[in-house]
Chains A and B, each alone.
Chain A
Amino acid sequence: GQNIDQPTEMTATEGAIVQINCTYQTSGFNGLFWYQQHAGEAPTFLSYNVLDGLEEKGRFSSFLSRSKGYSYLLLKELQMKDSASYLCAVVDSNYQLIWGAGTKLIIKP
């Protein structure tokens, strides 16, 4: 079966750095997405990785290792507004998105 694993919840301090991990086992791989979802709102696109390595976009970076079936989202200089759920999703061989359950990130002052 297809499986995406991410931690259920993480807590970090304002101004710090946090890394949210995602491991996957899917039928085929055509890329991995990270989405941010604030409570009561729709998910918004953060990043897309299809090749191994690190993609940096401002305070957010996303890393992919296809051989290990592993990705992480790195958030630097955390702000209170970063409190949200972060969803990992993989594009499988049928070009469908397989969603993880999401990681709820709590930022404390």
Chain B
Amino acid sequence: SAVISQKPSRDICQRGTSLTIQCQVDSQVTMMFWYRQQPGQSLTLIATANQGSEATYESGFVIDKFPISRPNLTFSTLTVSNMSPEDSSIYLCSVAGGQGETYEQYFGPGTRLTVT
């Protein structure tokens, strides 16, 4: 399975600021995803990061608030913009081989964000 790293592992930010989270994979992958997980809750998909085109956002998530980049097949960033305390959560990057290969997703270690 792919080895996935995320930076930063945790951060404490002030409301109104922005934080960019990086996700790096040690091999090329077809699919990259960004999730949010509130304490004690399951995973909520924010968006699918598409290489070379705009990310595909899930209902309730918009590009202005969560801009995503994916410049190549091994790297993606998620920015949490104009943060509020409600954005405090764990943000997880995951990767998958894609259609016709395997759908299982492998997760990065997560970024624990606290907004004060």
Contact = CB atoms under 8 A, between A and B. Distances in A.
10 contacts: A31-B103, A33-B104, A41-B109, A42-B92, A42-B110, A43-B43, A48-B104, A87-B42, A91-B103, A95-B99
Given A42-B109, A45-B1, A87 B103 contact: no
B42 A45 contact: no
A60 interface: no
A33 B43 CA distance: 14
Interface of B: 1, 41-45, 92, 99, 102-110
Q: Is the interface of B mostly helix, strand, loop or mixed?
A: loop
Contacts, number: 40
A30 B103 contact: yes
A42 B110 CA distance: 6
A102 B39 CA distance: 12
Interface centre among B1, B107, B110 (most CB of A within 10 A): B107
Given A41-B109, A42-B107, A99 B43 contact: yes
Interface of A: 30-31, 33, 41-45, 48, 87, 91, 95-97, 99-102
B103 A102 contact: no
Interface centre among A44, A96, A101 (most CB of B within 10 A): A96
Nearest to A46: B104
**Closest 3 pairs between A and B when the two form their complex, measured CB to CB:** A42-B107, A101-B42, A99-B43
Contact of B104 (A45, A96, A99): A45
Contacts of B105: 33, 45, 97
Nearest to B99: A95
A95 B108 CA distance: 20
A31 B99 CA distance: 12
B42 A102 contact: yes
A82 B109 CA distance: 19
Contacts of A45: 1, 104-106
A39 to B, nearest CB: 9
Contacts of B44: 99
Interface centre among B43, B44, B107 (most CB of A within 10 A): B43
A95 B96 CA distance: 11
